[in-house]
Amino acid sequence: MQAAALYRTSIGKKAIMAVSGVIWIGYVVMHMYGNLKAFLGEAAFNHYAEGLREMGAPIFGHLHLLTVARILFVVSIVLHVWAALSLTQQARQARPQNYATRRVVQANYASVTMRYGGVVILLFLLLHLMQLTWGVSAVHGEFIPGEPYHNLVTNFQSLPVTLVYLVAVVALGLHLFHGTWSMFQTLGFNNERMDRLIRGLAWALAILVPVGFASVPIAVQLGILS
């Protein structure tokens, strides 16, 4: 088969989902870890946020590598959503009538979680960028450009905003769990020994990433970060 035609097959689309998913897994793990710098204080957090813009120096100039990374993330997310929609459509076409038995309840549960969870994560991401990157005043009234720590803390002084973030990071945890699991199934790692390892990795991601992310808004709500 020609390489160009591979993307049309379900294996090709699952591979696209896996590669774009791994790029985002790498990003969320680093982002969660970076956010923990908030516990080191305002200066450390602002220095880290500024450092992101200088990433790759002295080879890359101000914002250069960050711009490359942003393009990669946008392309990855578009491909991930496209492949997901396309695989769902393909599966529907392959079996137009719904299953009648209860044996598929588990598979349905996972695919429903992935689909609705994915939509929740996308909507969250849009809100998140509006609040903490673009500083849209309708959703973050106290945003000051170039003051990431101040923007972070004032954002989570609102309880409703904190609750939205907590729901989103739980959705992200579920998505990471099932996504990691299915990715390894697609790659063919499904013998008994590998199963345990993959399940462990999926659990670790599904717990560490949401707990790490949630710690910052919770700390602001508890007055630990101010």
Nearer to ligand HEM, 10 or 158 (CB): 158
To the nearest whole angstrom, how small is the minimum distance from the Cβ of residue 31 to ligand HEM? 5
DSSP 158: S
Mark the segment that binds ligand HEM (CB under 6 A) among 7-15, 106-114, 121-129, 188-196. 121-129
Binding mask 157-196 for ligand HEM (x = CB under 6 A): --------x---x--x------------------------
Enumerate residues 52-81 that contact ligand HEM by CB under 6 A: 52, 70
Q: What's the Cα-to-Cα distance from 141 to each of 46, 61, 137, 221, rounded to whole Å?
A: 20, 31, 5, 18
Helices (H) and strands (E) in the chain, counts: 8, 0
Q: 208 is written with which tokens?
A: 């560490």
Residue count, binding to ligand HEM (CB under 6 A): 20
Q: What's the Cα-to-Cα distance from 175 to each of 5, 43, 193, rounded to whole Å?
A: 28, 33, 23
Mark the segment that binds ligand HEM (CB under 6 A) among 86-94, 139-147, 176-184, 211-219. 211-219
- The single residue among 29, 81, 114, 132 that binds ligand HEM, judged by CB under 6 A, is 132
* Whether residue 148 has a cis bond before it, omega within 30° of 0: no
Distance between CA atoms of residues 145 and 134, nearest Å: 9
Cβ atoms within 10 Å, residue 206: 21
Nearer to ligand HEM, 184 or 210 (CB): 210
Binding residues for ligand HEM, rule: CB under 6 A, are 28, 31, 35, 49, 52, 70, 121, 125, 128-129, 132-133, 148, 152, 165, 169, 172, 213, 216-217
